[in-house]
Homo-oligomer: A and B are copies of this chain.
Amino acid sequence: MRNSNTVDSKTKILNSALSLFEKNGYSGTSVNDILNEAELTKGSFYYFFQSKEDLLYLIHESFIENLLYDSQEIFNSKNTTNKEKLSQLVSLLWDSLYKYKDNFTIFIQEYKYIAADDKFQVIREKRDQFANIITQVIEDGIKAGEFKSNTDPKIISFGIVGLTGWGTQWYRKDGPLSVKEINKIYLDMILNGIENH
């Protein structure tokens, strides 16, 4: 049996890129930086990846695909109120920040980058599908009388992403509050803000 600690070179490069993109941004990280951290050399990089941008694409892809998949699960769950679904979506976001901080941060930070580049079309679509799910749940909740009728689904869904997105800048695992607690604080605020009382 192969030593399970062995990490293959492709993964090493991906992990180095992940942490460096998070720390210094995509533009602020050079291919050399990545390879120094991964303790590999030029040749390997272009054996595994087509370009630096390709790396960014893969990082986005794996993240957004999981996020979209999980959010669709929530959206499609039966016998669940929209309030409950919204709660789960918020928790999904904070969970993702907790589990995939680097991915999440890069996703938020390079939001503009992927807006401008044709190659990221697919990413953009999935990103929008995810946002639409939040918007849809709020709309459904309004129709069902769970949320106030004057709630603006789009603006609120932007807000939910913004709250968590900003967490990529300040949240630390060793901070005074756990992700669960932070999650609850924002969730309370959001639900109190839009629920029909």
Number of copies: 4
Q: Does A188 contact B (CB under 8 A)?
A: yes
Given known pairs A162-B163, A162-B165, A165-B162, the reply for A186 and B25 (CB within 8 Å) is: no
- Within A177-197, which residues are at the interface with B (CB < 8 Å)? 177, 182, 185-186, 188-190, 192-194
A193: B residues at CB distance < 8 A: 188-190, 192-193
Establish whether residues B155 and A185, one from each chain, have CB atoms under 8 Å apart when the complex forms.
yes
Q: Min CB distance, A81 to chain B, in Å?
A: 19
User: Among A109, A167, A185, which residue has the most Cβ atoms of chain B within 10 A?
Assistant: A185
> In the complex, what distance in Å separates the CA atom of A182 from the CA atom of B194?
14
Are B158 and A170 in contact (CB-based, < 8 A)?
yes
Say how far A108's CB is from chain B's closest CB, in angstroms: 9
Query: Which of B27, B111, B152, B164 sits near A28, CB closer than 8 Å?
Result: B27
| A145 part of interface (Cβ distance < 8 Å) | no
Query: Which of A27, A159, A167, A186 is most buried by chain B, counting CB atoms within 10 A of its CB?
Result: A159
A113 to B188, CA, bound (A): 32
Cβ of A38 within 8 Å of any chain B Cβ, yes or no, is no
Q: How far is the CB of A83 from chain B (nearest CB, A)?
A: 15
**A27-B28, A169-B112 known; A189-B158 Cβ under 8 A:** no
User: Apart from A156-B185, A162-B167, what are 10 other A-B pairs with CB-CB below 8 Å?
Assistant: A24-B112, A155-B186, A159-B189, A162-B164, A162-B165, A163-B163, A166-B166, A189-B193, A192-B193, A193-B193
